[in-house]
Structure 1
Amino acid sequence: MVSFEGVTKRFGGTGGQPAFTALDGIDFTVAHGAITGIIGRSGAGKSTLIRLVNGLEKPTSGKVVVDGTEVGGLSESSLRGLRRQIGMIFQHFNLLSSRTAFDNVALPLEIAGVDARTIKAKVGPLLDLVGLGDKSASYPSELSGGQKQRVGIARALATDPKLLLSDEATSALDPETTQSILELLKRINAELGLTVLLITHEMEVVKTIATDVAVIDRGLIVESGRVFDLYASPKHETTRTLLASSLALPEWLRTSIKPVPAAGDRALVRLVFFGKTAFQPLTARLVAQLGSDVNILAGGIEEIGGKPFGSLVVSYSADPAVIERANRFYAETGLTTEVLGYVA
């Protein structure tokens, strides 16, 4: 549905000021019908990437192709036509306060010149789809944050888009409301066959809804693939850092992690259980291997991409002999591990 082909985007570089490179040679594709997440820290280039898709920005070099059409080469009139095929939902909803929920959803249809009868037949079912059939006459000031975002989603679907862009659509919402909005997006993807491209800084969002993910850092895609694969075996340091932030470690422990051990320190290790290791009693065997020195600090089991996925954080002596025994055990059992660091 979307392909980025050697895309670079620079800002500035005039009046003697140095240019800022927001994106640097991006090569990436978004499959038809997939829910693809772009995740990264603030300033990584996420918003610039998504603005290239709907033509709000043009690449300095390279191509952005949406459903076979190169966005950067379109005239203004052709670009307007493409944008009707691309829905957009925003972090802060962007509803017009003077218009009801019905009229906010109707707005893109009015701009496209659709007649009033067709608009009425279209908007009502859309509000029903997002669970707001009884809020048609309500104004934004009368709606909760989650309801406002549902109106925004209905509005994004008004022109029957092929592609839905989500720009941090849940970051202004509480956890419970976030979950309901993500479930709605997942249902829309399944029922309408709509391709969804979402940007976020939250691993929890990617884990909940996305099938595929790309990690962006300083204008570069540093890692991409299936969400399950990145959770199970993150390759890049940025990915590991983003994953670490989602671990349920107490603050005092997370802030005391050191990259290099001192005498007497303990290794902090994340054990990942999936596939053939998901249902084996490997923790008990690790304790038997290392002795009672093993402490379990955090853990949980869940489903990612329809597959069981468990994660356990343990600590044990950073003594080289203990580390060697642990590593030998991991190699024999096929257990995936990640050293998070060391603690006193």
Structure 2
Amino acid sequence: MTLPRSEISAGDASVVFDAVSKRFAASGGNAAFTALNNVSLTVARGSITGIIGRSGAGKSTLIRLVNGLEKPSGGKVFVDGVDVGELDEAGLRDLRRSVGMIFQHFNLLSSRTVFGNVALPLEIAGMDRRAIERRVRPLLDLVGLADKHGRYPAELSGGQKQRIGIARALATEPKLLLSDEATSALDPETTQSILELLRRINAELGLTVLLITHEMEVVKAVTSDVAVIDKGEIVERGHTFDVFTHSKHETTRALLSGLAGSKLPEAVGRGLKPAAAIGDRAVVRLTFFGAAAERPLISQLIQSVGAEVNIIAGTIDEIGGKPYGSLVVAYGADAETSGKAERFFSENGLVTEVLGYVA
């Protein structure tokens, strides 16, 4: 996804944002503002691509440009080589049949059964009842809800409602699936089941998935590529593993700090100071991957520095099948200990970030 456009041929690109800006005029007492500023991004065909950022960063505006719900103020958006901004109403209808969308709050019709909700876009398209039956039944089976076809949304759990939303989005056999914070309203266990379903859909149907989220856990679990957006600009991009292990922008590092095992205990966070005094300890986040993730790094670090090292937080996980770990440790901030620690980190290929100092 997030490779430079020159590295992805036109035939391999599902979505291209080419120097896209979006400005909203002042209205209703709200001041004019720029939601997106000169965004260039390429989404590879068949990928699961994440766009992550804080609330108000411009994520939802970006995704609404893909299906023509918004038009760019500058630049162009291409879907399968088609300039979305140049389409008339008929062209937009055709585009939206090839672009499915799932939402945070499901958007199901309470008066329709599960079957009826999934069938709705096919009915609107004028498909006959027998053809609708042939299309909807396999989709309900795919999302694991064939036995719920006659139920109504009020009878379903949040996870089941989202599965119905996914089946409905797939009804028109789209080439691209847009997910706008689709797991934000779900509990962690249900979120994992929905992400696993998206992985299956991507693998079995070859569907490109463009996923908008503010949750790094979601990005880590399912995406192959990621772009980080902040204040309407793409500030970092790349393969997910590379961005997690070699993050360069402060926004990315801030988002990563919220992951399990990376977040500082509140008592430690409150006591952090930007500069060290005599006797203080440095608090450092270590990121390690590959073979380093399977080695006894802390015991080796203690031997190297010849001093006590405290583990404050940590986790070992996988990103894209590759081992990845994050540890927050504390050790003496004196020049000798810090120098030995820095040499150890460099020799072992560890990515480090000094978070501050504590007494």
Matched, 1:129 2:142: yes
Matched, 1:163 2:176: yes
The within-5 A match list for 1:142-291 is 142-246=155-259, 247-291=262-306
Matched, 1:98 2:111: yes
Taking the aligned partners of 1:103 and 1:146, their CA distance within structure 2 comes to 18
Deviates more, 1:2-11 or 1:290-299: 290-299
Query: What TM-score comes out, normalization by structure 2 length?
Result: 0.92
Candidates 301, 308, 314, aligned match of 2:329: 314
What is the Cα deviation at residue 232 of structure 1?
0.7
User: 2:115 is aligned with what amino acid?
Assistant: F
Matched, 1:333 2:348: yes
User: 1:297 is aligned with what amino acid?
Assistant: I
User: 2:126 is aligned with what amino acid?
Assistant: G
Taking the aligned partners of 1:107 and 1:221, their CA distance within structure 2 comes to 36
Counterpart in the other structure of 1:66: 79
What is the Cα deviation at residue 75 of structure 1?
0.3
CA-to-aligned-CA distance 1:2-48 (integer Å, 9 cap, x gap): 01000000001579975300000001010000000000000000000
Counterpart in the other structure of 2:11: none
Deviates more, 1:16-25 or 1:52-61: 16-25
Q: 1:75 to 1:216 in 2, by over 3 A?
A: same
Helix, strand or coil: the match of 2:77?
strand
Aligned length: 344
User: 2:152 is aligned with what amino acid?
Assistant: Y
User: 1:145 is aligned with what amino acid?
Assistant: G
Q: 1:165 to 1:263 in 2, by over 3 A?
A: same
Q: Which runs of 5+ in 1 are unaligned?
A: none
Counterpart in the other structure of 1:81: 94
Candidates 286, 295, 312, aligned match of 1:297: 312
Identity of aligned residues (%): 69
User: 2:328 is aligned with what amino acid?
Assistant: V
Taking the aligned partners of 1:109 and 1:78, their CA distance within structure 2 comes to 17
Helix, strand or coil: the match of 2:171?
coil
Q: Which runs of 5+ in 2 are unaligned?
A: 1-13
Deviates more, 1:207-216 or 1:279-288: 279-288
Candidates 20, 27, 48, aligned match of 2:61: 48
- RMSD across aligned C-alpha pairs, in angstroms? 1.6
CA-to-aligned-CA distance 1:74-128 (integer Å, 9 cap, x gap): 0011000000000000000000000000000000001111111100111111011
What is the Cα deviation at residue 172 of structure 1?
0.2
What is the Cα deviation at residue 338 of structure 1?
1.8
What is the Cα deviation at residue 248 of structure 1?
4.4
CA-to-aligned-CA distance 1:242-282 (integer Å, 9 cap, x gap): 00111243233234433333443321111222124233333
Taking the aligned partners of 2:149 and 2:104, their CA distance within structure 1 comes to 22
Helix, strand or coil: the match of 2:252?
helix
Taking the aligned partners of 1:205 and 1:47, their CA distance within structure 2 comes to 16
Q: 1:14 to 1:172 in 2, by over 3 A?
A: closer
8 Å CA contact 2:307–2:337 kept in 1: the answer is: no
What is the Cα deviation at residue 291 of structure 1?
2.6
Candidates 119, 124, 132, aligned match of 1:111: 124
Query: What TM-score comes out, normalization by structure 1 length?
Result: 0.96
Taking the aligned partners of 1:15 and 1:175, their CA distance within structure 2 comes to 38
Taking the aligned partners of 2:250 and 2:158, their CA distance within structure 1 comes to 35
User: 1:227 is aligned with what amino acid?
Assistant: T
User: 2:139 is aligned with what amino acid?
Assistant: L
